[in-house]
Structure 1
């Protein structure tokens, strides 16, 4: 694969990095701003989940924006919103201002979550597409990893440097409550500005230029991606031909595409019903509930991030070898098993190593399967002429259920709630575990294998699936 192609792919994955950073920063920050603002459980859930409202609108608007002004310009808008959100969140003085800037950041996340894998999918060769799109998931988990280290550094080391007088656990905690969470938010400005500047060196998607009938610009973009002039001209004709082949008034084809959108939406919903973001957003709170201090809980979050990172690497090397379906089916059962371990430990009030192993096994199962593979499939299963809009619908559904999970988890874990008393604090894990089993069965029955298929063949794939 051309070196000129690698650089734009890497730059576009910075959208995924910021996706991970912006969603992960809340994990540590919410431990402190909850106390600073004296939030109730519901207010805490809103402060954490408000960004996801922006993600829903960003996901819905991303498809429309991508088709109207292109992938590159839309990513520039996302980078700008990340920058505004970082500074605004750090300077927030109340729930309203914090929510507004978190929502703006959420719009950026929603845009990047669709546009980065879409761009990578459209410029990558088919035999490497799964691995290249999985790089975006690698960037997401790298963002989580970096922000968990950043939160730990701010909470335990920067705080020690900033404190005047005696350094103790109490003084560290108090500084973090007053100031530390602001630094956690504000440091995002560094990768956000870097992403914005580097995007100017990325060519627009050649496939988008062809869709807009800008054939000369498509050829130039392909040359910037490392193709010779003649090969670029041939590829423009190939893309143009594949678009024309998809125009059909056949009712079966229409139904097939409708079913493709349904499958994409369900994959997005199931990805969230695993409960992954309950772990990623509230991991600090979960570890703290197991008897750790806030600072120790933030450190233990690094274990989650390291496991997430490591097993995403495994996904990159397996997604184009094993295929999409086997990984998703396997992942569902691994996560169900891990959640059963966690549920048993919490229900019996052991709070032992079994709970930690369950959390880490769950994270590993998600990281090598439903984390990256869902995005690979969403970038592959829709034909060109509906890809932007269809991905927007699927991604918006994903963020809607992400919000529902993040908003309801602290409510279900409220010790004064009826569901907590009835289940000993295991109720949400039961829901997530059953969902993991159902979604494996769904994939086995309804999801087609897209490994090694050219994007121009996607419509025929769904027509066959619909008629089978």
Structure 2
């Protein structure tokens, strides 16, 4: 692959980086702003989950925008919203203000979560498509890693330089409650502005240009991606020939599309029912429950981010070798085992290294399988002419269940709730573990292998699956 092709792919993954940063920043910030504002458990859940409301609308709107104005311009809008959210969240003085800016950031996340893998999928060669789309997932986990380090730096080192007088544990905590969480949000402005500027140097999607019958624009875009004029013209003809007829003119194709959308939605729902975002959003709270201080809990989150990052790298090198289906089946069972370890340790009140190992094994299983592979499949399985709209439906379902998980987790973990007392604090992990087993069985039954196939050939897989 040429440098001219790699650079646009890397720049577009900054959308994934900001997805990870904006999602992960709440993990550390919520430890402090809940005390600053005096939030109840329900208000804390809304402050954490409000961005996900924006994600739902962003996911739905991304499909419409991707088809109407193209992938590149839609990503520019996402970068702008990330910037506004960073500044507004840092300056918020009420639950309403914080929620509004978090929702705007959520719309940016929803847009980027769909558009970045879609763009990468459309410009990547088929034999490298899985690895290239997985780069977006690596960018997401890199965003988590960076924001966990940033939160730790703000909470421990920046705070020390800002405190006048004796530095104590109490003074560090109080500064973070008063000011620190604002810096955690505000630092996002740096990658957001960088993303916005660099997008002007990225060519549009050649496939989108051909769909819109802007053939000269498609040729120019392909030349910017490193192809000669002669090869670019040939590829434009290939894309044009590969575009499917409108689905309404072919009943079998329509049935295949409907089944593909069903599978895409279920993949999105199952990805969230693993409970991944309960751990990523509330990891600090979980580590606190295991007997750690807030500052120590933030540091331990770095372990989660490092494991997440490391095993995503492994996924990049395996997704085009092992295939999508084996990885998803393996990941579901690994996460179920990890959650069983965590559940046992918490239920028996040991609070030992078994719980920590269970959390890290769960993160490793997700990072290598359901984290990146879900996005690879969502970028592959839908027909060209409706890819944006169909993918938007699946992504919106993903964010809806992300919101449900993030809202219900603190309620189920409230020590005064009947559910908590009945399960000794393990109830949500039981739900997530059973889901992990169910989704492996779902993949085994319904998901065909798409490794190495042209995007134009994938539709036929769904028509066959639907008939069977």
* TM-score, scaled relative to structure 2: 0.99
Mapping of residues 444-455 of structure 1, within 5 Å: 444-455=444-455
**Equivalent-residue separation in structure 1 for 2:250 and 2:92 (angstroms):** 54
Residue 167 of structure 1 corresponds to which residue in structure 2? 167
State the alpha-carbon separation in 2 of the partners of residues 20 and 385 from structure 1.
29
Partner of 2:320: 320
Q: 1:143 and 1:303 mapped to 2: Cα distance?
A: 14
Residue 244 of structure 1: CA displacement?
4.3
Instruction: Give structure 1 stretches of 5+ with no counterpart.
Output: none
Find the residue that maps to 1:213 and give its secondary structure: coil
Give, in whole Å, the separation in 2 of the partners of 1:51 and 1:213: 36
Distance across 1 between alignment mates of 2:48 and 2:390 = 27
Cα deviation, residue 347, structure 1:
0.3
Contact kept in structure 1, 2:247 and 2:254, CA below 8 Å = no
Q: CA RMSD in A?
A: 0.7
Please identify runs of 4+ aligned residues in structure 1 that moved more than 2 A.
244-250
Deviation at 1:247, TM superposition (A): 5.5
2:372 corresponds to:
372
2:81 is aligned to 81
Question: Counterpart of 1:157?
Answer: 157
Deviation at 1:224, TM superposition (A): 0.4
SS of equivalent residue, structure 1 residue 321 = coil
SS of residue paired to 1:104: helix
Partner of residue 211, structure 2: 211
Is 1:48 matched with 2:48?
yes
Task: Measure the CA separation in 1 of the matches of 2:291 and 2:419.
Answer: 21
1:228-267 superposed matches below 5 A: 228-244=228-244, 249-267=249-267
1:457 aligns with 2:434: no
**Matches of 1:96 and 1:38 in 2, distance apart?**
14
After TM superposition, give the deviation of residue 298 of structure 1 in Å.
0.1
SS of 1:127's equivalent? helix
1:394-405 to 2 correspondences below 5 Å: 394-405=394-405
**Which stretch has the larger CA shift, 96-105 or 241-250?**
241-250
User: Are the aligned partners of 1:246 and 1:383 in contact in 2 as well (CA < 8 Å)?
Assistant: no
Aligned position for 1:182: 182
2-side partners of 1:458 and 1:435: how far apart?
27
Taking the aligned partners of 1:260 and 1:221, their CA distance within structure 2 comes to 29
| Corresponding position of 1:433 | 433
Residues 267-286 of structure 1: CA distance to partner in whole angstroms, max 9, x if unpaired?
A: 00000000000000000000
* CA shift for structure 1 position 386: 1.1
Displacement of 1:250 after TM fit? 2.8
Measured in 2, the distance between the counterparts of 1:144 and 1:264 equals 25
Q: Which residue of 2 aligns with 1:409?
A: 409
Q: Distance in 2 between matches of 1:214 and 1:52?
A: 35
Q: Deviations over 1:402-447 (max 9, x none)?
A: 0000000000000000100000000000000000000000000001
Task: Provide the residue aligned with 1:418 in structure 2.
Answer: 418
- CA offsets, 1:243-267, max 9 Å, x none? 1456672322211110000000000
Q: Could you tell me how far apart the structure 2 residues matched to 1:92 and 1:248 are?
A: 48
Q: Secondary structure at the match of 2:321?
A: helix
Aligned to 1:311: 311
Matches within 5 A, 1:189-228: 189-228=189-228
- Number of the residue aligned with 1:299: 299
State how far apart, in whole Å, the 2-side matches of 1:413 and 1:109 are.
27
Distance 1:81 1:330 in 2: 37
Q: Please state how far the C-alpha of 1:48 moved relative to its aligned partner.
A: 0.1
Alpha carbons 1:329, 1:443 under 8 Å: kept: yes
* Mapping of residues 323-338 of structure 1, within 5 Å: 323-338=323-338
Q: Which residue of 2 aligns with 1:284?
A: 284
SS in 1 for 2:219: helix
| Residue 459 (structure 1) shift | 1.6
Q: For the residues of structure 2 that align with 1:460 and 1:117, how far apart are their CA atoms?
A: 22
SS at match of 2:360: helix
Which structure 2 residues correspond to residues 92-131 of structure 1 after superposition, within 5 A?
92-131=92-131
- The residue that corresponds to 2:362 in the other structure is 362
Distance (Å, rounded) in 2 between the aligned partners of 1:115 and 1:255: 25
Aligned residue number for residue 346 of structure 2: 346
**Aligned equivalents of 1:94 and 1:44: distance in 2?**
12
User: Using the alignment, how far apart are the partners of 1:298 and 1:413 within structure 2?
Assistant: 19
1:171-202 CA-partner distances (Å, limit 9, x unpaired) = 00000000000000000000000000000000
Aligned counterparts, 1:3-18, within 5 A: 3-18=3-18
CA distance in structure 1 between the aligned counterparts of 2:411 and 2:142, rounded to whole angstroms: 29
How far apart are the structure 2 equivalents of 1:320 and 1:432?
28
TM-score with structure 1 length normalisation?
0.99
**Mapping 1:31-46, distance limit 5 Å:** 31-46=31-46
